[in-house]
Structure 1
Amino acid sequence: MQRVRKAIIPAAGLGTRFLPATKAMPKEMLPIVDKPTIQYIVEEAIESGIEDIIIVTGKGKRAIEDHFDNAYELEQTLFNKEKFELLHKVQEPSKMADIHYIRQKEPKGLGHAVWCARNFIGNEPFAVLLGDDIVKAETPCLKQLINEHNRTHSSVIGVKRVPDNETNRYGIVDPIDQKGRSYQVNNFVEKPELGTAPSNLAIIGRYIFTPEIFMFLDKQEIGAGGEIQLTDAIQKLNQIQRVFAYEFEGKRYDVGEKLGFIETTIEFALENKELRDDLMKFMASKLEINH
């Protein structure tokens, strides 16, 4: 059995929820404290054993490529000023892994973004990681899915339970059998109307696919929102080979919408030794004023 060694990170979205900040800056480069969100995603992939990463970009996303490239003038300046700790942080992204890039020329949806990387993947299993979710876990989230793939030899979709009143924001799985954290799935439903969801197990931006997924993405069929939906292709793949959902362990942070992004930033800042005490004092003072 071929092991999972390649990953696709779609990063071509317009980031409309964060306008006007994302008019000239990719949403994937918005920082959580002092690290862009996409770096957390790349780190998870590498910690899970991924060797080659392709980032699917779009117009105005050059900053992502620059972030994972060398910055000779900046690095030399930091070296000359003997700011070695900061120098290490600046150099770290460029040394992470073999990162490649391909442009999604039209915003046709997530399924199309994954399809754009088909030649890079070839005929082997692969991972997909979305940048809207950061997951903190003892075993990296993607590694948990790879372990499940190695057990089942099948595609595996990462899921988490969400409140019933939020199921219309996600792809939802309709499970038919459960074994521990693993589910066999009857249907995958893209953003069901409230009250119609078959469960509250939501697809949360982490996937392991067999290469047969491209058979269905090749058809470029238009789905919900007038876009080529990845969930639709997963549903069709499930009709010819088993696709499992895996309820991964760990805390998921939704950084794809404003409130989740702010909450994540505050929580990560509270874990930062340099910021924690001052931030706690600031938050306490605001609470006193409000009371």
Structure 2
Amino acid sequence: MSNFIIAVGHTASGSIGCGVISKLDESNCTRAIGTLVAEYLQERGHGANLLRIDGSNRYTFEDCYVRANQANDIAKYLDVDLYVEIHINAGGGNGPEVLVTGKSERSNQYATKVSNALASALNLPNRGVKTRSLIVLNKTVMPAILVECLFADSSDADKYNQEVIARAIVNGLVGVDSASDGEWKNGWNRNDIGWWYCLSVENKSYYTSKDGWQEIEGEWYIFDNRGYALQSAWYYDKGYKGWYYLNDDCKMVRASNVKVLWLWIDGDCYAFSEVGRMYCDCVTPDGFSVDESGNWIK
């Protein structure tokens, strides 16, 4: 797996060195996107070090040198594949672009993939890869790219969605390894791995584990971090402090028109309530005993 440094552009909004503020507040956007990029990379088994500088003491670009120095310090003890700095553009244009120094073939390859992924996910014109001389690109010792996700001061702002943007960046960096790797249509989709639910073909968005339980046409579903609906699988809900079971149709099993639903699963019999929670270490409402694992005590 790869190691990345994910840096959020500019200082916190309102401080020296903060980003553009228009229809979007760049500093806030970069922090939201960068945090998700790091999280999604880690979910897929990659290393992600998140760099965030919230203030400068002396001049506008001081934070750029601080981020570059921090990145170089990390590179002393970790093999870093790429430094990725996230920004929101300004100037009234349309579409994403990714900036490089032009000196590293690896940077150029990553930049092309990220720009393509963002343009496709947001349905915006692709401004492509551009060569620039910038502090963080020049001062970092590892290959580096600077991502301008879209424009803060144009119609692009209407397409802003931090999760869509973050997933697109991750797909550009490490390839597609999720429910989105398949045919896109609104609603239920299926590929060789399993079922997934597309919320918007235009925005390339779909349910994942972050969205929690989802009620779809009167049935309840849970999705993993790649976007696939759990199927023939147990799920423990920390919030409700209970076990649930998703059947062959990916639906939560639950009692309906009866006090208790009894179900044989892998040779054992379990009882479920009308809200789907498995009974355990108790006597069920219909008078049967189950142990602490939920098994029926015969």
The normalised TM-score by structure 1 is 0.25
Greater Rg, structure 1 or structure 2? 2
Larger RCO (CA under 8 A, 6+ residues apart): 1
The normalised TM-score by structure 2 is 0.25
